[in-house]
Structure 1
């Protein structure tokens, strides 16, 4: 099979298409002929050798859609050890879900991993309700644009943060009531003015100064859910400050959902149901051939894209 492989850690130029053996499924795994693979920021960190270093040579890619060889069914799967940028994958059955006929491949791929993060950040940790004033950072990004739609569907008033007018327009088109420049020097004040009052729930994937400003802007009893650190700057939270402001900080890691197979499957089914009804519509930010994985990573890192990036592994160039 063909795959996009890295043999070292560093820049996007490391990706090269190579012929490698098909993966051999271990216990509890299936063979899937991949049609599309997703590009996620976690793959960028792995390519750089940050946080975790996969054994080399490595095939990255954490989510795929395709057909299961055993029965020909369309499936979506999460690959916790990578392997998605290839024509064949061997995901564990516990991380593999059937795709309803009403949901196209690209929508299934786009709403699964990012949708799970958006859903559980909003509902499981954020405990969103219709009275909330919600801020979503990277509101036109892979998770953010789904979180905007889910928050709007829950009845909340939603402010999306984005770095360009085009991305802010996209967030408005997807349901955000207002959109704010993510580079505003006084971000907390800007979002409070846009919402008409201090936010009660913030979803943050950026960290650093953005996290600090939005945490400080929270209304009493508000909460911030951190699910990423795209800015590569970690934050320290003072418990005394939380007590004084009566606010809360939560962290989300998708693996905790995957540890509970029933929760994972029920959450995926809910997202596919909403996608099938047209309530949740994933925006596709780019579609690349197998030889274009490096370009997809470069585009993701540049913050030039909006929505989910896909790799069509059936196309070489």
Structure 2
């Protein structure tokens, strides 16, 4: 177990990581901050948006700034589970089977366009994401510490995509949308590309894996008031009784609210969590866990709108520190 870093040091490292990533990834400070908070909380991140907005670049840059080993899997319809986890290969020299690790044996695995591969292959990541291990041919193999999955996906309306299984979606602590940049940010992207005269821009390492573990331990050392815990539970429970929702957020959803909200507080330099921290992450932590009714889909209701409606109607705690 790593020695926890004090909250001010975690916040300083977090700002440095975001600043370094911001030298390459323009106009994405808010979603990157949520992504970093999820990683500090020990979770996995799903970026979902249309192609060309920098989702892959954001994941690669985060891995570089955090000093993590990085592997990428380009998900395609013919990708097999063993292409991710690895497989046992017969070695004629020893007349035995030898396990050859797949790309999942890394610090940060980028599953690029994860919803372009079949659900069976998507599900190969479930054990890795939940238990930080994979089982191949009856043998269990531990993964790196820390280990994260950052996946990108395109909207399901795009040709050649498969909906992610509910169990898979639930394993992602947050789902983040990038959105189109502002005109000024897009001009900045073009100007930076001209200035560096090459397609790729280097991202310097800010911390290493050991420091990242200490940052995570620093986040874990921060307590959360009971009233804020109750607020997380009330928000998740409200999604289950919402008229537009068929299946609401699981307890894993309320836990994501608490964990990422706490990490956001630490990134702000605080050792206590405010209701506003929970509200900041509510859409990212809950929307992808909701299954809407057919009537809601027919009227064009989005899960994000349901979460915003819940935020408006569920009263926040009045005794939390502020």
What range describes the TM-score normalised by the shorter chain of this pair? under 0.3
Q: TM-score, normalised by structure 1?
A: 0.28
Larger RCO, structure (CA 8 Å, separation 6 or more): 2
Which structure has the larger Rg? Answer: 2
The answer to which structure has the higher strand fraction is 1
Q: TM-score, normalised by structure 2?
A: 0.27
